[in-house]
């Protein structure tokens, strides 16, 4: 069993995803600064997982605060939440989870610091638990779209590692289809530069016994052209109201290739990934990461010293390339997104 996040006796243990698949080690976080660093440095990654981790980080931070002065306590709490918010900008799950934590502080303004601490824990555990249930629902709806023997291309890592212990989103659907006896064959795209596909998705699928083939990112188009891929299933970090999707860099290229080759392209994500304040993809903040992740491969330099590189961590796939969204509330077409999940329907 994969347990990517463990909390016990005031210590948050994060399965260090930078060291997978060769080493299965946990990084221990005893304070909120360590948690913030772990998110920024990709110890834990994947949109839902960083939201859960940030919420737990707020709890660790709250635990350290003195309780005598409630106003000071709340002000310090805001600073902790602010630090967590600054770690990674693209995934809405991070700010969504922190908004929920912040709401506790607002709601409970009359409450004593010890009680606020308790409510924060309850909320963080709720966010964590809900994610697992949402994954199950996404897997249920998504598996219904998969036919026996389908060859499914997936990208980045959207599994247990990315969702804090749940089944996963896109990968959860694949696992569910496998459990239902549909015999999917998964084409795992390696996902340069950080290799989430090769290092993490291939590892998860191996742990689960799901048949898969690792491919380099640049093989996807030709495999589609040759009829070797029946559908593409990816996750999302943020979805604009018009259905444009921010996801791991390279997702857009896959979507264009899928359209060219009449291969269905599905995005699996919880409805909380829809940012109701953002109309189109061009307003989604996109993270840029250190150039070293491109010039080096697993810490081995692969480009001449001093080479300047671009390292955009995410791209935007325009909504017209997306066949449908697979959410915990069912299958939603991009054109229905605003109507079904717009601000008027979010609870």
Nearest CB to ligand MRU, comparing residues 104 and 143: 143
Q: Residue 226 CB, nearest distance to ligand MRU (Å)?
A: 25
In the chain, DSSP assigns E strands to 5-8, 11-15, 26-29, 151-154, 185-189, 212-215, 231-234, 238-239, 245-248, 265-268, 296-297, 300-301, 314-317, 324-327, 330-332
Stretch that binds ligand MRU, among 56-64, 161-169, 253-261, 278-286 (CB under 6 A): 161-169
For residue 91, state whether it binds ligand MRU (rule: CB under 6 A).
yes
Tokens describing residue 301: 């330099």
Q: Where on the phi/psi map is residue 140: left (φ > 0), alpha (ψ -120 to 50), or beta? A: alpha
Using CB under 6 A, which of 175, 212, 248, 338 touches ligand MRU?
248
Nearest CB to ligand MRU, comparing residues 57 and 235: 235
Stretch that binds ligand MRU, among 25-33, 78-86, 232-240, 254-262 (CB under 6 A): 232-240
Q: Residue 14 CB, nearest distance to ligand MRU (Å)?
A: 13
For the chain, helix, strand, coil in percent to 5 are 45, 15, 40
Backbone angles phi, psi at 189, to 5 degrees: -80, 135
Contact 197, 188 (CB under 8 A): yes
Q: Residue 171 CB, nearest distance to ligand MRU (Å)?
A: 8
Task: Report the C-alpha gap between 309 and 295 in whole angstroms.
Answer: 7
Nearest CB to ligand MRU, comparing residues 105 and 337: 337
Q: How far is CA 44 from CA 26, 39, 51, 160, 239, in A?
A: 10, 6, 10, 11, 21
Nearest CB to ligand MRU, comparing residues 113 and 243: 243
Nearest CB to ligand MRU, comparing residues 157 and 295: 157
Using CB under 6 A, which of 89, 193, 235, 250 touches ligand MRU?
235
Q: Residue 247 CB, nearest distance to ligand MRU (Å)?
A: 5
Tokens describing residue 95: 């700010």
Residue matched to tokens 């939201």: 51
Question: Of residues 259-318, which lie at the interface with ligand MRU (CB under 6 A)?
Answer: 313
Q: Of 147, 56, 139, 74, which is closest to residue 113 (Cα–Cα)?
A: 74
In SS3 terms, 286-300 reads as CCECCCHHHHEECCE
- Catalytic (active site) residue 237: yes
Using CB under 6 A, which of 204, 237, 315, 328 touches ligand MRU?
237
Q: How many residues contact ligand MRU, by CB under 6 A?
A: 17
Q: Residue 158 CB, nearest distance to ligand MRU (Å)?
A: 4
Direct distance between the N- and C-terminal alpha carbons of the chain, in angstroms, rounded to an integer: 33
Nearest CB to ligand MRU, comparing residues 58 and 313: 313
Q: Which of 217, 237, 244, 315 is catalytic?
A: 237
Contacts of 208 (CB under 8 A, 6+ apart): 175, 178
Q: Residue 164 CB, nearest distance to ligand MRU (Å)?
A: 10
Contact 263, 232 (CB under 8 A): yes
Q: Of 195, 283, 284, 279, which is closest to residue 237 (Cα–Cα)?
A: 284
Nearest CB to ligand MRU, comparing residues 272 and 295: 272
Residue at shortest CB range from ligand MRU: 235
Q: Where on the phi/psi map is residue 156: left (φ > 0), alpha (ψ -120 to 50), or beta? A: left
Question: Of residues 29-58, which lie at the interface with ligand MRU (CB under 6 A)?
Answer: 45-48
Q: Residue 113 CB, nearest distance to ligand MRU (Å)?
A: 33
Question: Of residues 162-201, which lie at the interface with ligand MRU (CB under 6 A)?
Answer: 162-163, 169, 196
Residues of this chain that bind ligand MRU (CB under 6 A): 45-48, 91, 156, 158, 162-163, 169, 196, 235-237, 247-248, 313
Catalytic positions: 237
């Amino acid at each position: 069993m994969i347990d990517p996040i463990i909390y016990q006796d005031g210590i948050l243990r994060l399965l260090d995803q930078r060291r997978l698949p060769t080493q299965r080690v946990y990084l221990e976080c005893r304070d909120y600064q360590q948690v913030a660093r772990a998110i920024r440095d990709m110890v834990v990654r994947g949109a839902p997982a960083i939201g859960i981790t940030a919420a737990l980080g707020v709890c660790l931070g709250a635990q350290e605060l003195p309780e005598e002065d409630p106003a000071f306590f709340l002000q310090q709490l805001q600073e902790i939440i602010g630090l967590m918010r600054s770690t990674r900008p693209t995934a809405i799950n991070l700010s969504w989870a922190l908004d929920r934590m912040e709401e506790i502080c607002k709601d409970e303004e009359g409450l004593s610091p010890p009680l606020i601490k308790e409510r924060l824990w309850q909320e963080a555990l709720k966010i964590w638990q809900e994610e697992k249930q949402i994954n199950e629902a996404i897997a249920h709806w998504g598996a219904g779209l998969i036919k026996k023997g389908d060859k499914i291309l997936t990208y980045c890592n959207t599994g247990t590692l990315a969702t804090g212990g749940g089944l996963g989103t896109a990968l959860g659907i694949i696992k569910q289809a496998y459990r239902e006896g549909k015999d999917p064959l998964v084409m795992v795209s390696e996902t340069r530069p950080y290799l989430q596909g090769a290092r993490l998705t291939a590892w998860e699928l191996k742990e689960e016994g799901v048949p898969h083939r690792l491919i380099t990112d640049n093989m996807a188009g030709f495999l589609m052209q040759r009829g070797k891929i029946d559908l593409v299933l990816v996750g999302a970090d943020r979805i604009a109201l018009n259905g444009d999707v921010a996801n791991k860099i390279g997702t857009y290229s896959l979507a264009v290739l899928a359209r060219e080759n009449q291969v269905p392209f599905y995005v699996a994500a919880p409805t909380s990934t829809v940012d109701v304040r953002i109309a189109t993809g061009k307003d989604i903040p996109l993270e840029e990461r250190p150039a070293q992740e491109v010039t080096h491969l697993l810490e081995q330099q692969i480009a001449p010293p001093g080479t300047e590189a671009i390292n955009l961590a995410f791209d935007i796939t325009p909504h017209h390339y997306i066949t449908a969204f697979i959410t915990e509330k069912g299958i939603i077409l991009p054109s229905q997104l605003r109507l079904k999940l717009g601000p008027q329907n979010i609870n």
